[in-house]
Amino acid sequence: MTNAAPVDAMEPASEQALIASILAGERDKFHILIRPYERQIYRTALALVKNEAEAEDVVQDAVLKAYRKLAGFRGDAKFSTWLMAITLNEARGRLRKESRAAFDSLDERSEESGDYTPAALTDWREVPLAALERQEVCALIQQAVSELPETFREIVTLRDVEELSVNDTATLLGISVSLVKVRLHRARMMLQRKLVPQLRLAAKPEPKRRIFGRLSWL
Amino acid sequence: MALSCRHVWDRISEYIDDTLDPQVRAEVERHLAHCEICSAIIDSTRNIIIFMADDRVFELPLDFSKRLHARLDDILQHEFPELPGISPE
């Protein structure tokens, strides 16, 4: 079996009503509440912990925590933002435990300062979305994101992978809107410099197989 | 004042998100009109941003959702959400 198709987020009012009924005892409805956000929280967890199995553990723990703490959810924030905040905390907690973050923070210092020279390839031609059908192209992008220092991975995942607004991202990370913009710019420039030369090579269409190759003697 | 390439590079992200002040945006556009290098840098950055938002790039592991809901089911059978101020059942 594969994963179910993504489920669209509900209207905030129906979501509030759903939360109320779960708290009133219809516990099974919690499944419906979190379905629209599974993909989003998984990708956020993965961006931080960089390992699929561990990201899955983070998601499970975050979802269970959200269920247990549901009564503490205040309707003044969006449920999705609240769930993402729990996920980020879980993921960061694991990073701290493994003290992987110590290495990352060194990278960040050097990345926050330095000037950027983007990859300047004047013969750049847009790589079509169809290139994403090829696993190696997706793998290059995943790899480039995973190699960013932690703060930049977070920002680019929230803004460009999950497409959260600048304001939601700032709230979630507890930083100012202007810092979101500065970090996002740095993260995108790092990705540009790394990915452009790679994508240009990888995205070239494979040469068409010669259908009549075996008949070339004709 | 004409912008240098380096000044344009500093504004790429905001240019793509369309959050630049209109006057600065116009200056960037004037630069882009004659600078092939900066145009290529902006196009390629935008291309990468579009790719990252595509669901095919960061796919869920097989049966991820099934495992999540199975674990959740187990908890839902046995636990109520914690109620502030009331001890658990």
Question: Over the stretch A82-115, which tens digit does the pLDDT of each residue have?
Answer: 999 999 999 999 988 876 555 555 455 444 555 6
Residues A112, A190 share a domain: yes
CATH number (domain holding residue A188): 1.10.10.10
Residues A189, A108 share a domain: yes
**pLDDT reading at A25 higher than 60:** yes
Residues A53, A106 share a domain: no
Of B44, B56, B59, the CB nearest to A196: B44
Domain assignment present for residue A54? The answer is: yes
Residues A107, A91 share a domain: no
CA-to-CA separations, A194 to A50, A147, B43, B45, in angstroms, rounded: 18, 10, 15, 11
B48 closest CA partner among A190, A43, A206, A39: A190
**pLDDT reading at A116 higher than 90:** no
> Mean pLDDT over residues A172-187, rounded?
95
Domain-ending residue, one of A98, A122, A151 = A98
Domain assignment present for residue A41? The answer is: yes
CB distance from A173 to chain B under 8 Å? no
Whole-angstrom Cα distance, residue B81 to residue A71? 7
Domain assignment present for residue A176? The answer is: yes
Of B45, B56, B75, the CB nearest to A67: B75
DSSP state of B18: T
Q: Which of B35-44, B52-61, B68-77 has the lowest mean pLDDT?
A: B52-61
> Mean pLDDT over residues A26-33, rounded?
94
- The nearest alpha carbon in chain A to B10 belongs to A185
Q: What is the CA radius of gyration of chain B?
A: 25
pTM: 0.82
**pLDDT reading at B89 higher than 60:** no
Residues A93, A115 share a domain: no
Distance from CA of A105 to the nearest CA of B (A): 23
Q: Which of A68-72, A90-94, A203-207 has the lowest mean pLDDT?
A: A203-207
A vs B, Cβ pairs < 8 A, gives 154
User: What pLDDT, on the 0 to 100 scale, is given for residue B87?
Assistant: 46
CATH number (domain holding residue A47): 1.10.1740.10
A168 closest CA partner among A89, A95, A79: A79
Cβ distance of A46 and B75 shorter than 8 Å: no
> Mean pLDDT over residues A56-79, rounded?
92
Residues A88, A67 share a domain: yes
**pLDDT reading at A130 higher than 60:** yes
> Mean pLDDT over residues B76-84, rounded?
82
Residues A144, A91 share a domain: no
Domain assignment present for residue A2? The answer is: no
Residues A75, A16 share a domain: yes
> Mean pLDDT over residues A129-146, rounded?
88
Domain assignment present for residue A217? The answer is: no
Q: Which of A73-77, B22-26, B29-33 has the lowest mean pLDDT?
A: A73-77
Residues making up chain B, counted from first to last: 89
Domain assignment present for residue A132? The answer is: yes
Residues A135, A94 share a domain: no
Domain assignment present for residue A67? The answer is: yes
**pLDDT reading at A217 higher than 70:** no
Q: Can you tell me the ipTM of this complex?
A: 0.86
What is the pLDDT confidence band of residue A208, given thresholds at 50, 70 and 90? Answer: low
Of A116, A117, A160, the CB nearest to B52: A160
Residues A90, A130 share a domain: no
CB distance from A8 to chain B under 8 Å? no
Whole-angstrom Cα distance, residue A158 to residue A160? 6
Residues A19, A50 share a domain: yes
What is the pLDDT confidence band of residue A136, given thresholds at 50, 70 and 90? Answer: confident
**pLDDT reading at A152 higher than 90:** yes
Distance from CA of A214 to the nearest CA of B (A): 35
Task: Tell me which residue range forms the domain holding A190.
Answer: 102-202
Within 8 A of A70 by CB-CB distance, chain B residues are 81
* CB < 8 Å from B in window 74-113 of A: none
Whole-angstrom Cα distance, residue B47 to residue B27? 22
* Structural domains of chain A, count: 2
Higher pLDDT, A155 or A135: A155
Kindly report the average pLDDT of chain A as a whole number: 84
User: What pLDDT, on the 0 to 100 scale, is given for residue A170?
Assistant: 94
**pLDDT reading at A124 higher than 90:** no
